[in-house]
Amino acid sequence: MCGIIAYVGSKPAAPLLVEGLKRLEYRGYDSAGMAIVTDQGTRILKAVGRVSVLEDQANSAGDVVGRLGIAHTRWATHGGPTQVNAHPHTGTTADGHTVSVVHNGIIENHSTLRKYLAEKGHKFVSETDTEVLSALIAQLYHGDLEAAVQSALREIKGAYAIAVTCDREPHTLVCARKGSPLIIGIADQAYIVASDASAIVSHTTQVITLDDYQVAKLCAGPNDSNTAAGGPWSVDFKTTTIDNVPVPLEIQELELDLEQIELGSYPHYMLKEIMEQPEAIRDCLRGRIDMREARVVLGGLSARTRELVRAKRFVLTAQGTAYHAGLIGEYLIEDLARVPARCEYASEFRYRNPIIEDGTIITAISQSGETADTLAALREAKERGALALGAVNAVGSSIARETDAGVYLRVGPEIGVASTKAFVGQVAVLTLLALYIGRRKHLPELAVREYLAELDRLPAHIQRVLEQSDHINQCVQQYIDRNNWLFLGRGYNYPVALEGALKLKEISYIHAEGMPAAEMKHGPIALIDDGMPVVFIATKGSQYEKVLSNIAEARARGGRIIAVATEGDDTIHSHADSVFFVPAVPEPLQPLLTSIPLQLVAYHAAVLRGHDVDKPRNLAKSVTVE
| Distance in Å, CB of 342 to ligand G6P, minimum | 18
* CB of 124 closer than 8 Å to CB of 135: yes
Residue 447 exposed, middle or buried by CB count within 10 Å (0-12, 13-18, 19+): middle
Judged by CB, which is closer to ligand G6P: 347, or 360?
Answer: 347
Q: Considering the complex, what minimum distance in angstroms separates the CB of residue 368 from ligand G6P?
A: 3
177: closest CA among 103, 231, 282, 121?
Answer: 103
Angle at 230 between CA 229 and CA 231, to 5 degrees: 120
Chain positions contacting ligand G6P, by CB under 6 A: 319-322, 366-368, 371, 374, 417-419, 619, 621-623
Closest residue to ligand G6P: CB criterion: 320
Choose, from 272, 421, 503, 621, the residue flagged as catalytic: 621
Taking the complex as a whole, how short is the minimal distance between the CB of residue 244 and ligand G6P, in angstroms? 33
Nearer to ligand G6P, 320 or 588 (CB): 320
Contact 562, 532 (CB under 8 A): no
Helix (H) or strand (E) holding 165: strand 158-166
Q: What is the CA radius of gyration of the chain?
A: 26
Backbone φ and ψ for 217, nearest 5 degrees, come out as -110, 120
Nearer to ligand G6P, 208 or 422 (CB): 422
- Which letter does DSSP use for residue 385 in this model? T
CA pair distance 595, 168, nearest whole angstrom: 55
CA distance 211 to 401: 10
User: Which member of 2, 175, 219, 475 is catalytic?
Assistant: 2
136 φ/ψ sector (left φ>0, alpha ψ -120 to 50, else beta)? alpha
Distance (Å, whole) CA 386 – CA 378: 9
Q: Is omega for the bond preceding 88 within 30 degrees of 0, making it cis?
A: yes
Nearest Cα to Cα of residue 188 among 256, 224, 234, 248? 234
Q: Closest Cα partner for 139 from 125, 122, 127, 114?
A: 122
- Residue with Cβ nearer ligand G6P (213 or 323): 323
In angstroms, rounded to a whole number, what is the distance separating the alpha carbons of residues 277 and 324?
18
**Residue 375 Cβ vs ligand G6P, minimum distance, rounded to whole Å:** 9
Shortest distance in whole angstroms from residue 327 CB to ligand G6P: 13
- For this structure, is 46 an active site residue? no
Of the candidates 137, 178, 136, the one whose C-alpha atom is nearest the C-alpha of residue 157 is 178
Closer by beta carbon to ligand G6P, 77 or else 368: 368
Residue number, 554 or 606, with CB nearest to ligand G6P: 606
Taking the complex as a whole, the smallest distance from the CB of residue 266 to ligand G6P amounts, in Å, to 19
- For the CB of residue 25, give the shortest distance to ligand G6P in the complex, in Å: 14
Return the number of the residue (154 or 511) whose C-beta is nearest ligand G6P: 511
List C-alpha distances in Å: 403 to 308, 347, 389, 391. 14, 18, 5, 10
Q: Which residues does 412 contact at the CB level (< 8 Å), separation at least 6?
A: 260, 276, 280, 283, 421
Output the smallest distance, CB 366 to ligand G6P, in A.
3
Cβ proximity to ligand G6P, 28 vs 320, nearer residue: 320
621 as an active site residue: the answer is: yes
User: Which residue numbers are catalytic?
Assistant: 2, 621
